[in-house]
Structure 1
Amino acid sequence: MRDDKLLTRISALLRQAEGTDNPHEAETFMQAAQRLATSASIDLAVARDHDPAAKQRTTPLSRQIAIGEAGKRGLKTYVQLFAAIARANDVTVDVAGNSTYVLAYGFESDIDACEALYTSLVVQMVAASDAYLRSGAYKTEEFSRVVTRGTGFRARRVIETKPLSPITARLNFQSAFAERIGKRLSEAREQARAEALGADPEGRHEPSSTALALRNKEIEVSDYYRSESRARGTWRPSSASAGYSEAARQAGDRAGRRAKLGPDRELGGPRGALER
């Protein structure tokens, strides 16, 4: 069930993050938004554990979320960003074979939070990588990739180094951006969980009610995913043949550290599919 008051409070924090030029303040507001989303998710889990009727009304669901049009370069990095956000919000994802959409499995409020964060951050990721390419900084760099030379018993895999191309620079930049965002949100999530668990009465020898509720929620989402998912195989964000650039990754990581959440990217707003 959607909690409009909660969405309004989180949206206000996101606007504060966007409204400051101080990167430390932006970080504080962004993490506060994630902690609030996590705390609300914990409260819901605890309430459901104590109210059988609420548990029947509020159950996991799945939602298809558009990522981009077929054939667009870099869709895997968009999926990587969404998956990183999902991990911080108790949501499991399946990925379409061509990376044009994901299926998100979890509770409605958690999926709402994922969409809100993704809708803002994917635009920032692409804008930051565009700026990096326009700067021309990548032109003096090289990238490495694993290639196979020879055939049959003479085939061998070697590391090949070449000048960094724009598409390889973009893919490395956006992949590192997604990783950094995932770390930032996970840190905020763990802080909120620690605070919630620490607020339970001390001196117990058995697990706290909050810990049990979180475990029950995890099992419920996992069971739902196993019963509903038709995915085969394991999705991987990149491959060795795509090429690796440390310089582009460092630039993407820095952009991920600076990323803020925009005032027009409110929870429950339009989904984040990018046009070609």
Structure 2
Amino acid sequence: MRDDKLLTRIAGLLRQAENTDNPHEAETFMQAAQRLATASSIDLAVARSHDPTARARVTPISRQIAIGEAGKRGLKTYVQLFVAIARANDVTVDVAGNSTFVLAYGFDGDIDTCEALYTSLIVQMVAASDAYLRSGAYKSEESARVVTRGTGWRARRVVERKQLSPITARLNFQSAFAERIGARLAQAREEARAQALADDQAADPAEDARRSSSTAAIALRDKELEVSDFYRTESTARGTWRPSNASAGYSEGARRAGDRAGRRAKIGADREFGGARGALEG
């Protein structure tokens, strides 16, 4: 677990993002929360690199996280959102075949961050897609998918277009929302990493001009290797999980709407860090 004071600071930033109606302020608070989470992760990695006892005591873990009930439509887009968050927070994910849960591999504090962000963002994603469907905007859109017509030597692949259905509109909307959130968090993470590495170099300049890696850079690399080694040892996953379902069809209009919603999403917490965990109900 991360320090309670740190989690309180992050939760405060997330609540500020949630409570403002100004999208620029929400973006600022969101990025600040992700940068703070990243900076904390870096600090812990550096501290562990200097303390063999701590390194032996604090090791990667795996945690099962519920996504939804079997048979619920759209679970792949829920998983896609969690995976996008995990990538920005040094967590590797395995996905259940029916997308009802994920297994997260990483350090405890990083997984806590992922769950906190997911808990807030999944509610926003579903609410935004519900509002899009209620607006009826999807009814003027089309979906496209590649299908095979004929058999044998007569078989040919063609693009089939038809009126966009509500479920296909929702899947496209939520997939684009998840992609945009992943890009926003990744940007904040890279900014935090760049600042941490710059600060580390400034505080401890290399005496050897050939020195190319800072203490923080080495610690981060060691952390990545530790999580990677743990994952290879513990994971029993087979195959590769893919976020999209080509059979559902592709809609540029629904994806544009989902992307816009992802840009506006407030990375805020309807539940604070340490709150109840579990699948989204409904």
Same fold (TM > 0.5): yes
Amino acid paired to 1:261? I
Question: Cα deviations across residues 57-114 of structure 1 (Å, max 9, x unaligned)?
Answer: 1100000000000000000000000000000000000000000000000000000000
Separation in 2, partners of 1:112, 1:177: 22
Is residue 2:261 matched to residue 1:273?
A: no
Give the unaligned 5+ runs of structure 1. Answer: none
- Distance in 1 between residues matched to 2:97 and 2:153, nearest whole Å: 32
SS of residue paired to 2:56: helix
Any unmatched runs of 5+ in structure 2? none
Q: Percent identity?
A: 80
Matched, 1:144 2:149: no
The one-letter code matched in structure 1 to 2:233 is: S
Match of 1:217 among 207, 210, 223: 223
Counterpart mapping for 1:84-163 below 5 A: 84-163=84-163
Residue type at the aligned position of 2:227: V
Matching residue of 1:178: 178
Name the SS for the 1:199 alignment partner. Answer: helix
Instruction: Give, in whole Å, the separation in 1 of the partners of 2:281 and 2:123.
Output: 11
> 3-state SS of the aligned residue for 2:62?
strand
Q: 1:231 aligns with which of 234, 237, 240?
A: 237
Counterpart residue identity of residue 104, structure 1 = A
Amino acid across the alignment from 1:209: T
Which of 245, 257, 261 lines up with 2:267 in the alignment? 261
CA RMSD of aligned residues (A): 1.1
Letter in 2 for 1:192: A
**Taking structure 1 as the reference length, what is the TM-score of the superposition?**
0.98
Question: What is the DSSP-based 3-state SS (H/G/I as helix, E as strand, rest coil) of the residue aligned with 2:237?
Answer: coil
SS in 2 for 1:145: strand
Amino acid at match of 1:205: R
Counterpart residue identity of residue 63, structure 1: R
Shift of 1:262: 3.7
Asked whether the 8 Å contact 1:115–1:268 carries over to 2, the reply is no
Q: Which region of structure 1 is more displaced relative to structure 2, 205-214 or 69-78?
A: 205-214
Amino acid at match of 2:108: E
The corresponding residue for 1:240 is 246
In structure 1, C-alpha distance between the alignment counterparts of 2:77 and 2:103, rounded to whole Å = 16
Q: Establish whether residue 205 from structure 1 lines up as the match of residue 205 from structure 2.
A: no
Deviations 1:29-78 (A, max 9, x none): 01100000000000000000000001011100000000000000000000
Q: Tell me the distance in 2 between the aligned counterparts of 1:267 and 1:30.
A: 15
Q: Helix, strand or coil: the match of 2:200?
A: coil
Quick one: distance in 2 between partners of 1:103 and 1:94? 5
Counterpart CA distance in 2 for 1:86 and 1:136 is 33
Secondary structure class of the residue paired with 1:200: helix
Between the aligned partners of 1:52 and 1:126, the Cα distance in structure 2 is 44
Amino acid at match of 1:224: F
Cα deviation, residue 263, structure 1: 4.4
Distance between the aligned counterparts of 1:275 and 1:25, measured in 2?
Answer: 30
Q: CA deviation at 1:261?
A: 3.2
CA distance in 2, matches of 1:229, 1:153: 43
- State whether residues 119 and 269 of structure 2, in contact with CA within 8 Å, keep that contact through their aligned partners in structure 1: no
* Contact kept in structure 2, 1:118 and 1:272, CA below 8 Å: no
Query: What one-letter code is carried by the residue in structure 2 that aligns with 1:190?
Result: E
Question: What's the CA shift for 1:268?
Answer: 1.9
